[in-house]
Amino acid sequence: MKQNPFRQLILGIYGLIILLPLSLVLLTTFKTTPELYSNPIGLPAGWNIENYKQLLVNEPIFGYIKNSVIVTVFSTFFILWFSSMIAYAIIQLPQKLGWIVYGFFVCGMIVPTQVNMIPVFLLMNKLGLVNTLTGVIIVSISFLLPIGVFIITGFMKTLPRELFEAARMDGASEWKIYSKIALRLSIPSMATVGIFSFVIVWNDLLFPLLLLKSKEVKTLPIALLDFQGEFLTNYPMLFSAVVLSSIPLLIAYVFLQKHFISGMTSGALK
Amino acid sequence: MSLKTNTSIQEEEKRTPSFSFPLFSFKSISKSRHLWLFLLPGFVIYTVFFALPTLSALFLSTTDWNGLSSQFSFVGFQNFKEILTNDAIFTQSLTNNLKFTIGVLIFQTLLSLGFALLLYKNSAWNTFYRSLFFVPTIISSVSIAFTWNFMYDPNIGGVNLFLSKIGLEHWTQSWIGNGHIAIYSLAFVQFWAHTGQMLIIFVAGIQAIPSELYEAASIDGATRWQKFKRITWPLLAPATTMVVAYTTIQSFKAFDLIIAMTNGGPSNSTEILSTLLYHEAFINFRFGYASAISVVFMIVIALLTFLQFRVLRLTKM
């Protein structure tokens, strides 16, 4: 295809609209606050990493990263496991019963998480799960299960039934059929749900904001929110925290780009 | 939904009529006994921490509970009456919600479709652009919020500096400090953050269209516009439905971005339903009242989703 200059221009401009704010953030982290005010959008005078050093010394940033990793990894794992089991049960149950179960889970997709935040907070409070990572993991699983069930069931329904029947004839247990056949063949949809869940839980603000109060258990997004109050006009410091907290997902994105993108795609079209 | 599997179950049931119940056969009951175990963990978590809380929001909405005291009384539909007739901030929040959502919906859908039409072929450059546009999707809304708070800064923000540089000084202003435009400034950020994601959905939709259709149309001498109108647009309907529904719900629920950028201010000009109900519950401690708002919020979202699927199904015909 011939390169149309108009097309290149549009794409280039939008590319800059995406890239410039992000690069400004990165450049700002190498500036001092007075330097930022005298030179807000230029290159920094030198590549000094004083802001990062101070941040690492003064703030338990690795603790926040650790909390975010724990919450995200456990939530994603259980979302994948539970929703694939539910999906398997739905396609194996008698038709009408399967539909009822499917409907019960999938109707949760319409309910905004904010609707539940008050009752969930009260429930967690009663169970003593406020200020624990477990609490956030449980809520994250519960609000992402509907979409997980929706996507994985949609995919499993397209698998040939004969495969399951044949395995059953050979005397395989339901668990074997699920884990050796259904799960393996559903890897594309599992990848979709895994990436979806990972990104959403990693970035989630609402439930950590409600449930995590003390510094030891905070995840990155709420820690960042605290920094904003703490560093008020100290953009260089705030952005150093932003850069550090974004790096893990960005690195994952660079290496797993195709999975991220194709994952979101098939998930959206199913 | 795959019809094939459904009919095969029916056939199976027809073949074993001697043991069959109206709903399902003996064989499937004993089979389903094991299957309940597969449902159990997800079912418990989902029911206890999602389904029941949703129902108890309905219950709380009829009380005047402040979240702290052990006593509260039932006030019936009092909260709803106050919300709908005597709460200027609620009305303002709903209006803000609509401004925000409609703004995002129009720009995000049109631009992501436009970009998808430019980028649907899998060349190296196109893949690069798609990956680049997608980047904000994986950055947390809080980080994006801070990035744009900085960009919108009246003195050192990139937006104003850029406008002054190209001779549009009179356009410079406090983008999120000015209550008249703040909600649109936030809508732009939402659009910036999610267009790349919607673009990918459209690209997949376009790639799924069989190329023979375009070849046949070319042979018949169809113009590019005709091809778009007669082939791409109708066959893209599932992707469009997805993008529109996803964008609407995503932007209607935008919470993180607003909490981190303006927290609803200045003077409620960027308060939307999700942030309003958070503030009513956890700042003003009106749990009952906030629950009533959440119920209204849920109804509005359900209506919007329903309407969209109706409208999009009609245009598809």
Assess if residue B66 is contained within a domain: no
Residue A265: band (very low, low, confident or very high) from pLDDT cuts 50, 70, 90: low
* B255: three-class secondary structure by DSSP: coil
* Sequence letter at residue A118: I
* Three state DSSP letters for chain A: CCCCHHHHHHHHHHHHHHHHHHHHHHHHCCCCHHHHHHCCCCCCCCCCCHHHHHHHHHCCHHHHHHHHHHHHHHHHHHHHHHHHHHHHHHHHCCHHHHHHHHHHHHHHHCCCHHHHHHHHHHHHHHCCCCCCHHHHHHHHHHHHHHHHHHHHHHHHCCCCHHHHHHHHHCCCCHHHHHHHHHHHHCHHHHHHHHHHHHHHHHHCCHHHHHHCCCHHHCCHHHHHHHHHHHHCCCHHHHHHHHHHHHHHHHHHHHHHHHHHHHHHHHHHHC
Does one domain contain both B123 and B21? no
Mean of the pLDDT values across residues A208-217?
Answer: 90
Please give, rounded to a whole number of angstroms, the shortest distance from the CA of A172 to a CA of chain B: 13
Please give, rounded to a whole number of angstroms, the shortest distance from the CA of B293 to a CA of chain A: 9
Does one domain contain both B32 and B117? no
pLDDT tens track for B275-302: 998 998 888 888 888 889 988 988 888 8
Q: What percent of chain A has pLDDT over 70?
A: 95
Residue B14 has what pLDDT? Answer: 42
Residue B3 has what pLDDT? Answer: 41
Between residues A63 and B246, the one the model is more confident about: A63
The answer to whether A110 touches B66, Cβ cutoff 8 Å, is: no
The answer to whether B136 touches B193, Cβ cutoff 8 Å, is: yes
Assess if residue B69 is contained within a domain: no
Hey, which residues does B63 pair with through a beta bridge?
B74
Does one domain contain both B299 and B182? yes
Residue A235 has what pLDDT? Answer: 86
How far is it, in rounded angstroms, from Cα B37 to Cα B44? Answer: 11
Domain chopping of chain A, boundaries: 53-269
Evaluate if residue A231 carries a pLDDT over 80. Answer: no
Residue B7: band (very low, low, confident or very high) from pLDDT cuts 50, 70, 90: very low
Domain of residue B52: give its range. Answer: 3-60
Assess if residue B67 is contained within a domain: no
Residue B276 has what pLDDT? Answer: 92
The residue assigned the tokens 């964008």 is B247
Residue B246 has what pLDDT? Answer: 82
pLDDT tens track for A191-211: 888 988 888 898 888 899 999
Evaluate if residue B21 carries a pLDDT over 60. Answer: no
Does one domain contain both B305 and B215? yes
Evaluate if residue A39 carries a pLDDT over 60. Answer: yes
Residue B28 has what pLDDT? Answer: 52
Rounded to an integer, what is the distance from CA B243 to the centroid of its chain?
Answer: 9
Does one domain contain both B131 and B262? yes
The residue assigned the tokens 């050093």 is A53
Please give, rounded to a whole number of angstroms, the shortest distance from the CA of B37 to a CA of chain A: 9
Q: What is the CATH number for B116?
A: 1.10.3720.10
Residue B63 has what pLDDT? Answer: 84
Does one domain contain both B110 and B242? yes
Residue A3: band (very low, low, confident or very high) from pLDDT cuts 50, 70, 90: low
Range among B53-67, B105-119, B241-255 with highest mean pLDDT value: B105-119
Assess if residue B32 is contained within a domain: yes
Closest CA to B101 of B113, B93, B112: B93
Does one domain contain both B12 and B155? no
Work out how many domains chain B is built from and give that number.
2
Residue B33 has what pLDDT? Answer: 61
Hey, which residues does B74 pair with through a beta bridge?
B63
The answer to whether A239 touches A29, Cβ cutoff 8 Å, is: yes
Assess if residue B198 is contained within a domain: yes
Mean of the pLDDT values across residues A4-22?
Answer: 91
Assess if residue B279 is contained within a domain: yes
Residue B5 has what pLDDT? Answer: 43
Does one domain contain both B163 and B310? yes
Does one domain contain both B91 and B15? no
Q: Out of A10, A41, A115, whose CB is closest to B54?
A: A115
Mean of the pLDDT values across residues B33-42?
Answer: 84
Residue A230: band (very low, low, confident or very high) from pLDDT cuts 50, 70, 90: confident
Assess if residue B264 is contained within a domain: yes
Q: Is the pTM of this model over 0.95?
A: no
Q: What is the residue-wise DSSP string for B52-106?
A: HHHHHHHHHTTB---SSSS---B-TTHHHHHHHHH-HHHHHHHHHHHHHHHHHHH
The answer to whether B18 touches A59, Cβ cutoff 8 Å, is: no
Q: Out of B38, B45, B192, whose CB is closest to A142?
A: B45
Residue A263 has what pLDDT? Answer: 61
Evaluate if residue B13 carries a pLDDT over 70. Answer: no
Cα-based angle B187, B161, A223 (whole degrees, multiple of 5) = 55
Evaluate if residue A93 carries a pLDDT over 50. Answer: yes
Does one domain contain both B114 and B17? no
Is residue B57 less than 8 Å (CB to CB) from chain A? yes
The residue assigned the tokens 């978590």 is B45
Does one domain contain both B230 and B194? yes
Mean of the pLDDT values across residues B47-55?
Answer: 91
> What CATH architecture applies to the domain A53-269?
Orthogonal Bundle (1.10)
Best mutation target among A115, A145, A219, A245 (most B Cβ atoms within 10 Å) is: A115
From A256-260, B121-125, B267-271, the region with the lowest mean pLDDT: A256-260
